Amino acid sequence: MKQSILSQKGISEDFAELIANLVARIPWPTRRSAMGQVALVLLDGKPRSAETVFGWNRQNVQLGIHEFQSGVECLNDLSARRKPKIEEKHPQLITDIHEIMTPHAEADTQLRTTLMHSDMTAQRVHDALQQKGWSPEALPTVRTLSNLLNRLEYRRRTVAKTKVQKKRLKPRQFSPTSGRSTRKPMRNRTL
């Protein structure tokens, strides 16, 4: 029967649980180095054993071992993992969209927001960009252009011409004391 690595080293289950709890309280990325140090001292530097005993990710333990041995802490740049927006890839695209949309855009009629309303669809903007010289491979899809137009605060709405509103006379209700009745008198019918 195969013995666990903890029993080979003479470490009790309670002690292993205490180590796991203490390491869990250390903030990242220092925790990774602590995981590597525990794996080196107690588990002979075996990340797979650390995964089995403590439930830690063995890639993190392996990286922690390298950090502990070298003394250099690896930085995680999670912000660089995102996909760049289309305006970051093609800055010229925004200026071309503004040139296309400006003649067709109108401000909000009540001037409550900074949104610009237009009757241009994303498909029409896509076609206009192709006529302007953009290749179909370099252009984003119509759905991406729709999202970009929303981020640039262009909203699709039929632009209504301004109409003068007529004043309507409100119907007046007669007061019950004025003597005028709104009911028609009933006729006396005889059979």
What tokens were used for 139?
A: 């252009």
User: What are the structural domain ranges in the chain?
Assistant: 5-70, 86-156
CA-angle at 56, arms to 28 and 47, nearest 5°:
105
User: What does residue 68 show for φ and ψ, rounded to 5 degrees?
Assistant: -65, -40
Average pLDDT over all residues of the chain: 80
Question: Does the pTM of the predicted model rise above 0.75?
Answer: no
Q: Convert the pLDDT of each residue in 52-104 to its tens digit.
A: 888 899 999 999 999 989 988 887 776 677 888 888 888 899 999 989 888 87
User: Virtual CA dihedral for 97, 132, 139, 87, nearest 10 degrees?
Assistant: -30
